[in-house]
Chains A and B, each alone.
Chain A
Amino acid sequence: MANISIGPLRWQAEPSRVEIRQSGESVRSYYQVTAPRDVSSMCKGRPVEELPRILSILSASHHLASAVTLDNLFGVTPPPTAKNIRDALVQSLTFIHHARKLLFLLSSSQNPFGLRAELAVRAGTSPVAHHVLDEIGHAMALAQEAASILGGRHPHPLTAVAGGVSRPVKEIHYRRLAEIAESSLPYALRLRDIFREKIIGSGNGLYELMDLTVSPIASITFSGVEDAIVLTGADGSGSTTFTANKTTDTLEALREPWTHLPFVHVKGKTWQGPISDQSEGLFFVGPLARLNRCKPARTPQAEEERLHLVNSLGPAPHFSAIAAYWSLVVEIIQASEIMKDLCTEEKLTGLEVRTIASNPGGQHAHGALEAPEGFIYHHYQVDERGIVDDVTVLDAASENNALRCLLTQKMVEDAFEHGKPWDRAKKTIELSLLPF
């Protein structure tokens, strides 16, 4: 019987570590999030209109999801310009979110802040040249500039309010956005080339490493077009849909005593705990989940990349880390293309960006959003003065929690079987969790 603890894990938004309990031939891992987010004590008692700013602590997209929930609470529809501004913000957040993960992947075997000279002598892995990392960094900086124009601040945006956004995009800002949109597509395509060269065709070990796959599990996405949440079966078929207000009837969160992050799973289906892939209630969200819906990408070049993926890895659904990373590439191209499309004068400018609620608002409301990191959902219960009594927030971390545990267990078992040193196992775990 031995206890091993590895952590803190790299690249995880939550402070997390892996605890391993080993006895005889069996090994059991715990992917453990060590600090509570405690959304409810931050939100309860607050005026409901403050939630977009407070919940942005979870991620920038929760700011938008919260605004959508407020739209529903007050029964207001944002004017088209406001919708475009919010959508453009989602696209720039997607770019940043995905590019950061790819940057982490590409620099995973080196210290991205090491001196160039040191990097050159390091043997074994082939480090990605600094100017390549710088290039990605530059593209992210541009996307960040776009996000701060659209959201008022980055990384915690401010502008999404009930019924639209708090201020119109000024002409000078609009021009800058158009410039950024123009230049981000070439960056996205460059990123695609780097990905193909350094990861897919490099033979530097990363590819094999990511060839790991979990057994098929269901996935959840939110389709804005159909205004419905889609649960796609593990084999890619048999999808069922439900509306946002049925979310808590369909999904449920479970707590385990050893982690602060709850496990979200499908209600009424079997649940055999976080490290069993036999549960029917298991699902995941995110870029790979979106890929597994087998729908064409929204834009031409992204669709081209998606087809390239399908040709190389086979038709979706996929459950491997490499497919997950690849779907980041597809979506980063898509985000740039949509951005270019959205950044036209008529779509982004205009003074009409907000609908003011004429009624005091209902007592509760739901809101769903397909965020860069996956489907997220908010539900607020308020009193007659609009003070929050209760909140439910589903975020990508808790929805993917079971998947993360599964992946971790797999890596740990593998390391145990092959007698791999734990620090190497840690790197593998980190790399396999990163794209989800």
Chain B
Amino acid sequence: MTRKNVAVFTATGCKACENAILDIHYQVSSLARWAHFTFWPYVLGSSWEDLEKSDELDVCFFAGAIRTASDEEAALKLRQKSKILVAFGACAAFGGMPGLSNLHPGGESALCKSPSDDDCPELPPLRSRVAALQQIVQADYILPGCSPPQNYIWAILQSLVCQSESAARISFAASRLPQPIAQAVMAGVLPPGGSIFAGEKAVCASCARIKEEKRFESFKRIHQIDPDPGRCLLEQGLLCQGIATREGCGGLCTGAGVPCRGCFGKAGAVFDPGAKMVSAVSSTFDTTDGEEMKKIAEEFVDLAGTFYRYTMPAQCALLQNRKELK
């Protein structure tokens, strides 16, 4: 079997996604039998010239959001060069936290100072809006999460790189994936194009906290209460986004006592995470009096920055279509 040419790259984000690939129990070195890492600037110091000279890439893992002109350029280059392009992590998949800046369009001008002398090098121009990889080029698979959990990184490596020939941890890799993807991973064939390597339902489905259909009279903020460990956080008055978010992490945050913020993007059946949250949260208001409803609603702060924490560019129905302002 010939080894696959693999590339790893991060645009604007952090290096945690790439470190997460390194971190798969530090067994990446054992991947050498299947993968030839042809382009990996962070670890191998590969340059763009190396990429040009290299053969076609079989798989490219692309992390980070598209914020600058060079990010955009990198996306185009890597798309052209790769058979399979994977949007790796919340930033690449949905725009991630850097995408929050889309709430303040035009803010990028504050980040650029005009050059003092003609000789000094220029910075790549900033886009007025942060975009997800998908909004620039077609991505073949999506691996959500900030950063993606280890089992899905395994799953995607097994599936796309090893063609499931590595015996290591295959059942671990396939756990919690929807059936069609899991079967493909096990069988060593490519999962259906566009597959999202995560669950289908909402985080609530795998969250260990119990819902009691309780309602609340006032909204709480995480520094104000020490939530009851067994009960649903939303029903204790905290904004928890598990209900609008795709499952896959197994309720990582809620298990650690903090509410979900949606790093897996919206769940399968959800049109817009914010709309879903508005309806879920409002239904817990314990009142039929308009004035009281208004009062409870007024206590909430920063809905947009919370409901679209990781997904503003790609999944906020109202903002995603806003055109790049030139």
List A338-375 residues whose CB lies under 8 Å from chain B: 354, 356-357, 361
Give the distance in Å from the alpha carbon of A134 to the alpha carbon of B31 in the complex. 12
Decide: B258 and A152 in contact? CB cutoff 8 A: yes
In the complex, the chain B residue whose C-beta lies closest to that of A133 is B29
Task: For A74, list chain B residues within 8 Å (CB).
Answer: 223
Interface residue A57 (Cβ < 8 Å from any Cβ of B): yes
Task: For A54, list chain B residues within 8 Å (CB).
Answer: 97, 309
Given contacts A137-B27, A161-B222, A111 and B122 within 8 Å (CB-CB)? no
Decide: B256 and A257 in contact? CB cutoff 8 A: no
Option from A10, A45, A166 in Cβ contact (under 8 Å) with B43:
A10
- Min Cβ gap A260→B in Å is 7
Decide: A140 and B126 in contact? CB cutoff 8 A: no
Decide: A47 and B14 in contact? CB cutoff 8 A: no
Give the distance in Å from the alpha carbon of A158 to the alpha carbon of B252 in the complex. 9
- Min Cβ gap B301→A in Å is 5
Decide: B101 and A38 in contact? CB cutoff 8 A: yes
Q: Is the interface of A mostly helix, strand, loop or mixed?
A: loop
Give the distance in Å from the alpha carbon of A13 to the alpha carbon of B300 in the complex. 35
Decide: B121 and A167 in contact? CB cutoff 8 A: no
In the complex, the chain A residue whose C-beta lies closest to that of B149 is A153
Task: For B26, list chain A residues within 8 Å (CB).
Answer: 134, 136-138, 140-141
Interface residue A385 (Cβ < 8 Å from any Cβ of B): yes
Residue in B13, B126, B261, B302 whose Cβ sees the most chain A Cβ within 10 Å: B302
Interface residue A175 (Cβ < 8 Å from any Cβ of B): no
Interface residue A427 (Cβ < 8 Å from any Cβ of B): yes
Interface digits, B108-135 against A, CB 8 Å rule (1 contact, 0 not)?
A: 1001111110011111101000000000
Interface residue B15 (Cβ < 8 Å from any Cβ of A): yes
List A18-54 residues whose CB lies under 8 Å from chain B: 19, 21, 30, 32, 34-36, 38, 41-42, 44-47, 49-50, 53-54
Decide: B32 and A260 in contact? CB cutoff 8 A: no
Chain A interface size, as a band, is: 35 or more
Give the distance in Å from the alpha carbon of A90 to the alpha carbon of B297 in the complex. 39
Given contacts A9-B45, A45-B302, A260 and B223 within 8 Å (CB-CB)? no
Decide: A115 and B113 in contact? CB cutoff 8 A: no
Decide: A134 and B123 in contact? CB cutoff 8 A: no
Interface residue B325 (Cβ < 8 Å from any Cβ of A): no
Give the distance in Å from the alpha carbon of A111 to the alpha carbon of B302 in the complex. 46
Q: How many of B's residues come within 8 Å of A, CB to CB?
A: 73
Decide: B45 and A153 in contact? CB cutoff 8 A: no
- Min Cβ gap A391→B in Å is 13
In the complex, the chain B residue whose C-beta lies closest to that of A130 is B29
Interface residue A192 (Cβ < 8 Å from any Cβ of B): no
Contact segment of B63-71, B175-183, B194-202, B314-322: B63-71
Give the distance in Å from the alpha carbon of A141 to the alpha carbon of B30 in the complex. 15
Task: For A154, list chain B residues within 8 Å (CB).
Answer: 23
Decide: B97 and A426 in contact? CB cutoff 8 A: no
Option from B120, B229, B258 in Cβ contact (under 8 Å) with A258:
B120
In the complex, the chain B residue whose C-beta lies closest to that of A76 is B223
Give the distance in Å from the alpha carbon of A19 to the alpha carbon of B27 in the complex. 35
Interface residue B313 (Cβ < 8 Å from any Cβ of A): no
Give the distance in Å from the alpha carbon of A386 to the alpha carbon of B126 in the complex. 31
Given contacts A50-B306, A130-B29, A155-B19, A15 and B10 within 8 Å (CB-CB)? yes
- Min Cβ gap B189→A in Å is 25
| Chain A residues within 8 Å of B, Cβ to Cβ | 3, 5-13, 15, 19, 21, 30, 32, 34-36, 38, 41-42, 44-47, 49-50, 53-54, 57-59, 70, 74, 100, 104, 111-116, 130, 133-134, 136-138, 140-141, 144, 152-156, 158-159, 161-163, 166-167, 255-260, 354, 356-357, 361, 385-387, 426-427, 430
